[in-house]
Structure 1
Amino acid sequence: MPLTADTRHALDLLARAEHGQVAASLRALPFLAPARHAVVADRLLLRLCGRQGTCAGQVVAYGAGTADRWSVQVVGVCETAEPTAEERALFPADGLKEPLYLWVTPECATVHVEEHA
């Protein structure tokens, strides 16, 4: 499915940020976790701490932004990822043990840009 203009703009902005938060519902409870991300071929590759559980197969929301300029929220189904060495290299070597990687295929996106006078 081709990306909408909003989703394309959201992915372009997300490419400028390093981290955000993923939100889902797991076993009828809210799940919110910090994550790093990379934009790869019109999808988001997320890296979370593996001990946080998985939301593979779930609809998730992923949000990121800057405090004073813009914020983005992308919604889509996620699936477990086995990234290539090149894809793993997109993330900083910050000593995260047992990382969990997830693909999120965007279905819709919201972009909010703060207008400064």
Structure 2
Amino acid sequence: MSSEEAARAIDLLGRVRYGRVATSLHALPFVAPARHVVTGGRVLLRLHAGFGYHQACLGSVVAYGADNLNSGAEHLWSVQFTGTAEPCEPTAGELALFGPPPRAADGEPFEPMYMRIAPQFVTVHSLDYSTERPPRHAA
């Protein structure tokens, strides 16, 4: 991965708060939503421990993706990082970047679990609608 592409991906990822982490669960592909922050060139994720999804991620190679595809912007982008997910204890500064966690997840008290991904492979894709409006799905 070029350092220029990695820097662009980090910049774009910093513009949104949520994405999706993908791994395999019982030999099947699995995707879960996660809150992220970017710090020190790594992606730090916060998931709800009560779902147990982190158990499939930790120590495994995962993909993490985020985008602005629903933003209505003229310049759309999608970023994906692939790397090994490791458990971590965020610093006070990193916790402040996350902001307060949700009160509940599916009606249960939210229990944060944190993991860090050191990107080994990065992809950035973009779509430019600056000369025409993107199609609307509903009238």
TM-score, length basis structure 1: 0.90
Q: Aligned pair 1:60/2:62, yes or no?
A: yes
Partner of 2:103: 95
Structure 1 or 2: more helix by fraction? 2
Q: How many residues align?
A: 116
Instruction: Give the aligned partner of residue 111 of structure 1.
Output: 124
Corresponding residue for residue 73 of structure 1? 80
Could you tell me which amino acid in structure 2 is paired with residue 102 of structure 1?
Answer: M
Higher CA-based Rg: 2
More strand, by proportion: 1
TM-score w.r.t. length of structure 2 = 0.77
Give, in angstroms, the shift of residue 44 of structure 1.
Answer: 0.4
Amino acid of the structure 1 residue aligned with 2:84: V
Deviation at 1:89, TM superposition (A): 1.3
5+ residue gaps in structure 2? 105-109, 132-139
Matched position secondary structure for 1:89? helix
Q: Does 1:6 align with 2:19?
A: no
For 1:40 and 1:25, the matched residues in 2 are separated by 26
- Secondary structure of the corresponding residue to residue 59 of structure 2: coil
Runs of 4+ in 1 over 3 A off after TM superposition: none
Looking at structure 1, the residues matched to 24 and 5 of structure 2 have their Cα atoms a distance apart, in angstroms, of 25
Q: Deviations over 1:22-68 (max 9, x none)?
A: 00013312221100100000000000111232211110100101115
Q: Is the 1:7–1:74 Cα contact (8 Å) retained in structure 2?
A: no
The alignment partner of 1:32 has SS state of strand
Root mean square deviation, CA, Å: 1.6
Query: What residue identity is the alignment partner of 1:65?
Result: D
Which residue identity lines up with residue 128 of structure 2 in the other structure?
E
**Identical residues among aligned pairs (%):** 47
